[in-house]
């Protein structure tokens, strides 16, 4: 098949090929694996518009390869095995062949669409390869400046986005570190507060223990004093009083009334009273010398001894008597 015939048929099917190629490009875009934006990886050196392997082919091989690529819809890709590169290499070998020029003109829109789609996918290496093919096919192509500007602008936008993302990542990391520091400080403050509360509780418990010990010591001291006083009272009572000049002979010694409060509480004690008996045998004077416990049985003891009666005497006699109070007696 001659190149002229191939080119002629290409003119008739060009609109249909454009639709098919766009659909194929879209399917290839959906099936293509995700690639890393050019700004995220070191930029690779741009590939030549026509690979060295294609440039090394002779005219017949290029014509056959271009026809097969068109039949298989490999208009501009993959690199090194597509109709555009085969026709560009063939034009270098046959610069005056109008069929080659017409084929490149007809295939140019597909390549331009593919380049724009590569820009949209941020596949800048592929976009630059396709842009180089377009530039080699027609250095004065109207869409070439816009395409090159789009590549540059998209690369700049990706680079700016990378900078923004990096700044955001750093800000997020700083915020995370600050939050960790805040949480650590909060935990430390909580531990310090708990330690202070535990120390305060221990101090309160120690103070309560010391207060209880003090009260117990005071109770024991009071009990010891009371026991000593009882022992002293008993010792004094055991000492025989000096024989009075006259012997008192009781006629009536009514017992004292037990105070109701002391009786209800079961309190017991004793009162040492000093009385003066007149010549008629009545008690003319009475006073409390000592009472245990104090001011509990004093009044009833005095009321009782004032009612006592003795046999008449030649002279008044003063003596002491101990009156005991025991709720069980």
Average pLDDT for the chain: 85
User: Is 178 a residue whose pLDDT tops 80?
Assistant: yes
| 3-state percent breakdown (helix, strand, coil) of the chain, nearest 5 | 65, 10, 25
**Residue 293 has which token pair?**
């416990």
pLDDT at 4 over 90: no
Give SS3 for 70: helix
- List the structure tokens of 50: 């026509």
Q: Residue 240: is its pLDDT beyond 70?
A: no
Contact between residue 310 and residue 249 where contact means Cβ atoms under 8 Å apart? yes
The answer to whether residue 8 scores a pLDDT higher than 80 is: no
250-325: CATH number: 3.30.2420.10
Helices 124-137 and 98-120: crossing angle in degrees, nearest 10, is 160
pTM: 0.46
Q: Is the pLDDT of residue 173 over 90?
A: yes
Banded pLDDT at 26 (limits 50, 70, 90):
very low
Task: Report the chain's terminal Cα–Cα distance, integer Å.
Answer: 150
Q: In which element (H, E) is residue 184 found?
A: helix 143-238
Identify the CA nearest to 128 among candidates 109, 103, 149, 105. 149
Cα–Cα distance list, 161 to 76, 122, 155, 172 (Å): 30, 12, 10, 16
How high is the pLDDT of residue 225? Answer: 83
In terms of Cα–Cα distance, which of 203, 208, 162 is closest to 38? 162
Question: If you average pLDDT over residues 69-86, what whole number do you get?
Answer: 95
Helix (H/G/I), strand (E/B), else coil: 25: helix
Chain region(s) in the chain for CATH 3.30.2420.10: 250-325
Largest distance between two CA atoms of the chain: 180
Identify the band that residue 257 occupies on the pLDDT scale cut at 50, 70 and 90.
very high
In DSSP notation, 305-323 reads HTT-EE---SS-EEEEEEE
């Amino acid at each position: 098949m001659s190149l002229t015939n191939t080119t002629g048929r290409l003119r008739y099917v060009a609109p249909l090929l454009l639709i098919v190629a766009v659909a194929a490009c879209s399917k290839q875009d959906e099936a293509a694996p995700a690639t890393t934006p050019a700004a995220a990886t070191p930029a690779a050196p741009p590939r030549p518009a026509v690979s060295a392997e294609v440039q090394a082919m002779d005219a017949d091989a290029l014509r056959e390869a271009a026809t097969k690529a068109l039949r298989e819809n490999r208009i501009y890709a993959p690199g090194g095995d597509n109709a555009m590169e085969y026709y560009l290499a063939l034009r270098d070998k046959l610069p005056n062949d109008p069929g080659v020029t017409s084929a490149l003109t007809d295939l140019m829109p597909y390549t331009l669409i593919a380049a724009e789609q590569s820009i949209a996918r941020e596949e800048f290496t592929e976009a630059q390869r396709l842009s180089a093919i377009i530039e080699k096919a027609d250095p004065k192509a109207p869409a070439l400046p816009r395409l090159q500007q789009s590549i540059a602008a998209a690369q700049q936008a990706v680079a700016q986005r990378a900078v923004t993302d990096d700044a955001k990542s750093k800000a997020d990391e700083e915020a995370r570190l600050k939050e960790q520091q805040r949480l650590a400080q909060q935990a430390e403050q909580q531990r310090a507060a708990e330690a202070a509360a535990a120390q305060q509780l221990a101090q309160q418990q120690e103070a309560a223990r010391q207060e209880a010990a003090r009260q117990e010591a005071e109770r024991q001291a009071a009990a010891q004093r009371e026991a000593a006083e009882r022992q002293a009272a008993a010792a004094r009572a055991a000492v025989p009083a000096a024989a009075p000049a006259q012997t008192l002979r009781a006629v009536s010694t009514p017992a004292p009334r037990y105070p109701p409060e002391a009786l209800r509480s079961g309190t017991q004690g004793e009162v040492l009273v000093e009385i003066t008996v007149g010549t008629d045998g009545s008690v003319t004077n009475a006073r409390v010398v000592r009472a245990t416990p104090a001011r509990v049985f004093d009044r009833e003891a005095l009321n009782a001894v004032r009612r006592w009666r003795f046999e008449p005497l030649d002279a008044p006699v003063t003596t002491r008597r101990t009156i005991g109070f025991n709720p069980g007696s």
